[in-house]
Amino acid sequence: MNILLIGFMGCGKTSLGEKLAEKMNFKFIDLDEIIVQSEQLSINEIFNVKGESYFRKLETDWLSNFEGENFVVSLGGGTPCFNDNMKIINSIGTSVYLQLNSESLTDRLVHSKQKRPLIESFKNDKAKLTLEIDKLLKRREVFYNKANIIFEVSNMSSSKLDYLIGLVV
């Protein structure tokens, strides 16, 4: 069994994924980290030097060649939205959309030290950042809502994590 976490940037895919993998005794994979290591460039540098379409192809190639069982995989926020990736994601395992509203995402992302290419130019203006996140989230939710499980992640607790484990097994 594999669990693939999808959702908007800043929703907690990596931090929740690590906790979930540990509790389930699964291996944890962060797709963005794999791409950063293989390209030896940050996500921001990949976008700037090679372009978003190159980055999206890397995501699809990795998903298409995925093998293994008992993994929790954190996918990039845009991964499900390109190249029919949701179909691939759902064939690999159980997909879980970690859902969070745009206001909560803004609160998390406005203070993020991580450079995120699609919102970086808006980070100094919270109102513009909120509008951009809302716009991107609306476009992406069409794909996110194809997940096997939609799980609201505000106010996460240990018992809520246990509840999620009950949903996926």
Model confidence, pTM: 0.91
What are the boundaries of each domain within the chain?
2-168
The pLDDT of residue 117 is 59
Q: Provide Rg for the chain, Cα atoms.
A: 15
Region of poorest pLDDT, from 12-16, 88-92, 157-161: 157-161
3-state secondary structure of 163: helix
What distance in Å separates the CA atoms of residue 159 and residue 88, rounded to the nearest whole number? 30
pLDDT: which is higher, 28 or 155: 28
pLDDT: which is higher, 108 or 151: 151
The pLDDT of residue 142 is 96
CB 97 within 8 A of CB 4: no
3-state secondary structure of 125: coil
Beta strands (DSSP E) in the chain are 2-6, 27-30, 71-74, 94-99, 149-152
**What pLDDT, in 10s, does the model give residues 59-76?**
999 999 999 999 999 999
What distance in Å separates the CA atoms of residue 121 and residue 141, rounded to the nearest whole number? 22
Pick one of 3.40.50.300, 3.90.10.10, 3.30.70.1380, 2.40.160.40 as the CATH number of 2-168.
Answer: 3.40.50.300
DSSP state of 3: E
